[in-house]
Amino acid sequence: MAESAESSKDYFVTTVNEDHATICWGCGLRLLLPTHAPVFKCGWCGAITSQNVNKTETKCLWGRRLQDRCFVTILSVFMLFLICGGVWAVHWFVFSVSYTFGIFHYILTAILAATTVSTFSLSAFRCAGTPPTLLWGSYPVVGKGDLENYTFCHYCVKPKSPRAHHCRSCGTCVLDMDHHCPFIGNCVGAANHRHFIAFLFSAVFSTIYISFISAYAGLHIWPPVKYRSLGHLNGSGRDLAIRAFKEVMLALIGLSVLLWQQLCYIYEGKTYLSHLSSQGSGGDHIEEKGCQNIFRFFGCPYSIFIYLPTLRNSPKRHTK
C-alpha cells in the first residue's frame, strides 16, 4: 500500500529557460522570471533591476567641471568688485546725510555682502549630497529588505537610493537632488540646498537695498526735478538710467520667482525633480504639505515643535 501511495504522487520536472533567469545585482541571488521582464524587483533585498539600460559615456567631464569652477570663481570676484565699488561710490553721500546713517549703511552692507558671498561659495563649492554607502552584491551580507526600491547606477557603479539622482554634469549621484544650477556650477541637493535658499534670500534683500540706496543717491546727485525735468536730461544719461533700472528689475524679478518656486516645493515636501516625477507618474505618491516641511528644512530647534504638536510626530526629511 505504501509503495502504491508513493507511486501515486505526481512529480513535475521542468527545464529553466536561461532567457528567463537572471541575477539580482543587490544580493546576488539567481531569480527566475515568468517572462522576460525588462524591470523586476527582488523579493529578498527589494532591489530594482532594469535590463534595458542605454548607458552613454560622459566625455570631458573634468573639463566641464574645471570650466564651471572657473566661471564660479570669476563670478565671485565680480560680486566682490561690485560690492566694494558700490560702497566706495556712495560712501561720501551716506556720510553727508548723517554720520549715523553712514555707520548704519556700512554695517548693513557688510552683513549683506558677507552673507551673500559666503552662502554663494557654500552652494557652489560644497558637495551637494553624497548618498549613504551600503554593502551589496552578496547574499550573506545583504539582509532582507536592505535595498528596498534601490536601483543600480551604471555611471557610478554602485547602488542608488530612491532619494538620489545621477547628475551627468557633475558625474555623481546626488541625494535629494533639486536641480543642477549653472550659475553656481554645482547641483542643489541635501547638503547645500539650505545654503542655496539662504543665498537667494540674501541676494533678493541685497538687490532691494542697493536699488533703494542708488535711487536715493541719484535723486540727490541729479538736479531737482522741479528745476530740470527728466525729459530734458542728456540722452545718453537717460538711456543709461533706464537700462540700469530695467536690468535691476529683471534681476530682482528673476531671483524672487526662483525663491518663491523653491519655497513652494519645500512647503509641499518635494524637490524640483520629485515634482516632475510625480507629474509623470500621475501623482500616485502624495507628500504631506504644510509649514512643518519648511521648519524641518531649515533645521529649527526642537523647542519650536513643542508649540506645534502636529509637527512633532512627522518624519524628518533629509535624514541620511
pLDDT tens digits, one per residue of 251-289? 889 999 999 999 999 998 888 888 887 775 555 555 678
C-alpha cell recorded at residue 232: 530734458
Report the distance separating Cα 196 and Cα 198, nearest Å.
Answer: 5
What local confidence, expressed as pLDDT, does residue 280 receive? Answer: 59
A 10 A CB-CB count for 151 gives 19
What local confidence, expressed as pLDDT, does residue 224 receive? Answer: 54
Query: pLDDT digit string (tens) for 92-118?
Result: 888 888 888 889 988 999 999 999 999
Helix, strand counts (H, E) of the chain: 9, 10
102: number of CA atoms within 13 Å, CB side? 12
For the whole model, what pTM was predicted? 0.79
Question: Active site includes 181?
Answer: yes
In the numeric block, the cell 529578498 is attached to 44
Q: Which of 27, 181, 187, 291 is catalytic?
A: 181
Query: 201 burial class (0-12, 13-18, 19+ CB within 10 angstroms)?
Result: middle
Q: What is the pLDDT along the chain (320 residues), one digit of tens a residue?
A: 444 444 444 544 444 455 567 788 888 888 777 666 677 888 888 888 876 666 655 566 777 888 888 888 888 888 888 888 777 878 788 888 888 888 998 899 999 999 999 999 999 999 898 888 888 888 888 888 888 889 988 888 889 988 899 998 888 899 999 999 988 989 999 999 999 999 999 999 998 988 888 888 877 776 554 444 545 555 565 677 778 778 888 888 999 999 999 999 999 888 888 888 777 555 555 567 878 888 888 877 544 555 554 444 444 444 44
Report the distance separating Cα 179 and Cα 166, nearest Å.
Answer: 11
What local confidence, expressed as pLDDT, does residue 288 receive? Answer: 75
